[in-house]
Amino acid sequence: MVVYKVEIRNHIGLHAHPSYLLAEEAEKFKSDIQIRYGEKLADAKKSICILALGVNSGESIEVLVSGEDEEEAAEGMLEVFRHMGNA
């Protein structure tokens, strides 16, 4: 399992467009990808689940990746966060 923290620094947080981009990337992999925000856990392959977390700018999340392609999946997700200005 790969686990890492990300601080959300873009000005809109994890709202519609960022949530869509993350889910689109997560769908490329076989691994289970979850996003944890406080006590909430969301399936990263479903943008509506990410959106429902209600993550605002300046808050931190954890990304949990497990499965046969977890290293590649973790890097792919991290690249999306980098593109959004978070890492």
Catalytic positions are 15
Distance separating alpha carbons of residues 33 and 7, to the nearest angstrom: 17
Angle at alpha carbon of residue 73, lines to 67 and 75, rounded to 5°: 135
Residue 8: strand pairing partners: none
Q: Hey, how many other C-beta atoms are within 10 angstroms of the C-beta on 35?
A: 23
Q: Tokens 């046969």 appear where?
A: 68
